[in-house]
Amino acid sequence: MFEGFEEERIDVGLSRLFVRHGGEGRPVLLLHGHPRTSATWHRVAPQLVNAGFRVICPDLRGYGRSSKPTLTADHSAHSKRATAQDMLALMSALGHEQFALVGHDRGSYAALRLALDHPEAVSKLALLDCIPISEHLARADATFATKWWHWFFYAQPEIPERVIMADPECWYHGSAREMGQENYDEWRQAIHDPDTVRAMLEDYRAGLTIDRQHEEADRQAGRKVTAPLLLLWSLRDDLEDLYGNPLKVWEAWASDVSGHGIDSGHHMAEEAPSELSAALIKFLQLP
């Protein structure tokens, strides 16, 4: 897994991040989702390297082998703004002041925040299975609450930690066959760590509070993503079922947006790596 990549821990100020990086060429930063680690990209990253890119895959703050922030009452230590600042510092430490950015699931929210807060740093943005948190919540109805009930369960204090840690593997439903053995082993180690589970839940608690506030402030100020935006969504997940064409939602958030569905379940980097890689490479190679 990740043959030819370096692995190291890099101090970025308030966090110490575990990161894999390899390849030569224009830099691309890949941000994983919940409850994965950077290992989720193990079938995609080598294809991007072979296409001529330098690929950087960190564990987000709180996830995997990256450090766990001290809890704060307003959840700001686990906010997407804090995560975005980590990523900006990480890329600067690796010598990259501008880069392409790809985010999936919770990583897509950090990627969106980075593109909004630091537009000069992001040359291109690809978001996977994503519409803004505030857009989900503004549209929330009984269907959304039924399908995405975990958002509101994770927001409860203490209870979800106790429930998940009673049997993490049953809760998260991983598969070595689908994920790849080494990716599975790394994921399994992470979800059995109480500090990691709490940090992942804090990510969701931040989403419903401070992250939502940040996004609503963006809309009021008329801020948009200025980098070209590629949106990809899993056809066997429920984004289309909830909202129809997700591109319509993004027209209010980005000035240059395109995209399409991928024949996959939610974890497309593991389930449809070749189709995903092809779409990303085509987008990233555009002038």
Active site residue 266: yes
Residue type, 32: H
Active site residue 105: yes
Of the listed 59, 86, 105, 237, which one is catalytic?
105
Q: Would you name the residues annotated as active-site residues?
A: 105, 266
